[in-house]
Structure formats: C-alpha cells, structure tokens
A = this chain, B = another copy of it.
C-alpha cells in the first residue's frame, strides 16, 4: 500500500526535496566586556533537511524540530558571540546535523547590518545602510558549501562607460554612446572552494577585502559593457583570494537617461539625467577558476541565476 499519494495506475504523488525552519531571526549582540561596546546585528535563517516525510503526509511531528526551537538555539548560541556570519552559521549547522539522527543537512543563511561609532563614542552607533553582508551555508551529503556575499552596494560612474557595437535588428532603436552614466546595485556572492580548510580564515577580513576589490574594479574599469565591468570585478576577487573558487554577480543596469533640454533652448552636455526605476538591465554571470565545479548545489538554493 502506498504510504503517500495515489494508488492505481497513475504514478504516486510523493514528497520531493523539502526544508523548513525559522526565517529572519533578528539578532542583536552586544559585547560589553569593556566600556567600549561592540555591536553585531544580524538576521538569521535556519532551515533543516532530513526525514520529515511523516509530518507532510500524516501530520506526525515526532521528527519536527520546532521552528521556535531553531529560533531559541540561534539566540542561545549568540550568547557565546557571533564572530562572523560564516562561523555562526557553521556552529548552527554542526549543532542541527549532529543533534538529531534524522536531520541530514540544512540551509543556514544570514544578513549582517553594519553600524559605525558616532564620533568614536564607546556605546553610541549610527547604522550604515549602504550595504548588507550575506552568507549562506548548505550542508548536504556530508559536505558543507559556503557562499559569502554583499548586496545593496550602489555604485555609479559619471563617465568612463561606453556602449556601442551591438547588433541592430528590426527592434533596435538604441543609439550608440561613448559616454554614459554607469550605475548598478552590486549583489556579489563568492563561493569558497569545496573541501578547503576554512577553519583559520578571518571571514571579516575577507569580506572587507572583497568589498574593496569589487569597488576598485568597478571604479578602475573603463567600461565598454556592464558585462566587462562585472567580469573584471569577479576576476579581481579570484586573483586575490585563492580560497574562493567562484564569484557570482547580479548587476542591474540602473539607467540614467540624458534629459533632452533642446526644446527649452538649453544644451545638456551629459549634465542633467533622469534616473529611471523600471525597466532596468539585468546582467548576471559566474566568474570562476577553470576546473572548478561550476554547479555547486548551494547555487540551487540561492537562485535567480542561470
């Protein structure tokens, strides 16, 4: 007799891949060992994989580590410090995959938000909203796959960007240009080499380094296409960080259209622009070391990509 789904000639309907947990646990950790406090601010998501079929097919929760329990665990673990999102997710993954026989893996993710001291004050901070740090850790088949990232980093060049030489078909009306504004919101995700020993890595330092490499490559590249800027950004990261095997970037082309002031008898030599909302270009790619596994399973859990 089928345990789940339909009997008879038709194929049974069965449970496929599944995961569950608690999302966006807002965690603020203050370290106050000295009068000069430290502040860590994260949103943490925990989802486990394993044998949860009975919950789906029969409402049997005997395997269901409650999402509330996952939330509690996040807060309890934070008492010992966060350190970095990557390390913190690693501790969660180790706990859940070793603590319950039927939990085979999971997906843990975090966003980190930054704060700067107000005039070097010991315990007063102002939030830096200009970027968000991200991390995703997938534990599957006895292995862990780690992707760190940055998102929401908006950059713009007022010159040093061209776009021409593209094919023209029946539907092409775009004019070529040798000087345009190039603007984008950087979302970058870098995958650490599978099997690499990351135990001694200073993830916070890597983050700071990658962030600067991305910014510098964007600024320094005289761009003939946003694709070119994107590739240079990914390449700069891989050249400097042997522990990273792949960088995926998703870059909207935030169009800034030159306003036609001629009807008003006014020229406009690339000075006055309309910043459009939608539609926008969307340019995405993976940049990786030759020979590395191009389709790590962690990407399937992130998506939005090719």
Residue on B nearest A302 in the bound complex, by CB: B303
Question: How many positions in chain A have a CB within 8 Å of any CB in the partner chain?
Answer: 156
| A79 at interface, CB cutoff 8 A | yes
Residue on B nearest A154 in the bound complex, by CB: B127
Complex Cα gap A64–B230 (Å): 15
**Among A212, A228, A270, which residue has the most Cβ atoms of chain B within 10 A?**
A228
Complex Cα gap A212–B115 (Å): 16
**Among A25, A124, A155, which residue has the most Cβ atoms of chain B within 10 A?**
A124
Q: Are B158 and A29 in contact (CB under 8 A)?
A: no
Interface class of chain A by DSSP: mixed
Q: Are A159 and B264 in contact (CB under 8 A)?
A: no
Q: Are A16 and B286 in contact (CB under 8 A)?
A: yes
Q: Are A300 and B290 in contact (CB under 8 A)?
A: no
Complex Cα gap A219–B126 (Å): 10
Q: Are A22 and B273 in contact (CB under 8 A)?
A: no
Q: Are A18 and B57 in contact (CB under 8 A)?
A: no
Q: Are B273 and A218 in contact (CB under 8 A)?
A: no
Residue on B nearest A299 in the bound complex, by CB: B300
